[in-house]
């Protein structure tokens, strides 16, 4: 698995553009908040370390992961960020609900990226167990929120160059 080969929080700061003039929107699911709160903190703190100003990082919460799609689009319209980060966590249960939510959010973020003019960063953990999610939210595999913040900065810079 990829996270066993590379830590989600591992990046070379020298390879990341300066984020001091960039604006970001971070949308966070409240479902599995013990995980998503850590993802949010990871993304926010990494954006700050990369030069983003606190006043240029808008954070909002939505009830669940499926709602990330709508909120990401609305944040893009209202905040006018250079990139939007969506953070959520879906843990497999005993019903097919997991499959529908994961597929829907994946397709929704794909559609936003295809139709939009800013990058929408997909930060949805899709795990079999809560422990796997915690391992990817600041645990032994790092923090997916960190990775999403780095990706957002790089893609925002790509957008302005190309």
Which residues are catalytically annotated? 97
Q: Is 97 helix (H, G, I), strand (E, B) or coil?
A: helix
Please spell the DSSP secondary structure of 142-153, one letter per residue: EEHHHHHHHHHH
Please spell the DSSP secondary structure of 2-28, one letter per residue: HHHHS-TT---GGGS---TT--EEEEE
Q: Where are the beta strands (DSSP E) in the chain?
A: 24-29, 57-62, 83-91, 120-127, 137-139, 142-143
Q: How many whole angstroms separate alpha carbon 58 and alpha carbon 54?
A: 8
C-alpha closest to that of 57 among 41, 73, 37, 69? 41
């Amino acid at each position: 698995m990829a996270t066993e080969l590379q830590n989600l929080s591992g990046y070379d700061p020298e390879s990341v553009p300066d984020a001091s003039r960039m604006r970001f929107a971070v949308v966070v699911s409240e479902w599995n908040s013990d995980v998503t709160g850590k993802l949010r903190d990871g993304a926010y703190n990494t954006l700050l370390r990369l030069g983003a100003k606190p006043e240029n990082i808008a954070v909002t919460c939505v009830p669940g992961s499926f709602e990330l799609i709508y909120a990401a689009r609305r944040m893009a319209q209202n905040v006018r960020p250079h990139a939007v980060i969506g953070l959520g966590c879906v843990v497999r249960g005993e019903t097919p609900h997991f499959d529908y939510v994961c597929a829907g959010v994946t397709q929704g973020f794909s559609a936003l990226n295809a139709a939009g003019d800013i990058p929408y960063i997909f930060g949805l953990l899709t795990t079999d167990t809560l422990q796997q999610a915690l391992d990817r939210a600041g645990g032994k595999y790092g923090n997916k929120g960190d990775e999403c913040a780095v990706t957002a900065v790089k893609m925002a810079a790509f957008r302005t160059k190309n």
